[in-house]
Amino acid sequence: MAFFGLLAGILAAICPALPVQATTTERVVTNRYSGLAIEGFDPVAYFTDAAATQGRPEFEAAESGAVWRFRNEGNRASFVAHPEIYGPQFGGYDPTDLVRGVTCAGNPRFWAVVGNRLYLFNRERSRDAFAADPARFLKEAAARWPELEEDLAQ
């Protein structure tokens, strides 16, 4: 037991020095157990209600290999008609991490709508940095995204 404790301590000490690895490999971030995109939050509600709102199981749609949930039929219909508008950009990956060259899943509780597009962030600090200069982050993330997206599963 002492050996494993010592080994865990050593690994914890050297891990911050290791390069950051991708946290997921899907082109659209989904929960690996439920298959839900953005943890079941309604992507249209970010636009219509300016809020992160949980979707309901009776209002679902399949798109891009994921199951999306909505709070009502109107939001579901809007998404089905225009998933490219309402779905999170970069597949739900944090654009600030894309700039660093890594794919980290965004958290649907940390979000921003910029230029009529939804962006998700893995932590509040990333969203705040993005909000300070969205044009720079979007330009750099868009330049890195094609290369990073290629490495994600189909």
- Token match 């490219």: residue? 84
Provide mean pLDDT across the span 123-132.
Answer: 97
Provide mean pLDDT across the span 35-39.
Answer: 94
Provide mean pLDDT across the span 133-148.
Answer: 96
Is the predicted pLDDT of residue 5 greater than 50, yes or no? Answer: no
DSSP state letter for 111 = E
3-state class (DSSP) for residue 151? coil
Is the predicted pLDDT of residue 20 greater than 70, yes or no? Answer: no
- Residue-level pLDDT at 65: 86
Share of the chain above pLDDT 70, in %: 82
Is the predicted pLDDT of residue 1 greater than 80, yes or no? Answer: no
Answer whether 132's CB lies under 8 Å from 51's CB.
no
Residue 78 amino acid letter: S
DSSP string, 25-41: -BSS-B-TTT-BBGGGB
Average pLDDT value for the chain: 86
- Residue-level pLDDT at 143: 96
- Name the E strands within the chain: 56-63, 66-70, 107-114, 117-121
Which residue ranges make up each domain of the chain?
20-150
Q: For residue 27, what pLDDT band results from cuts at 50, 70 and 90?
A: confident
Q: What are residue 79's DSSP bridge partners?
A: none
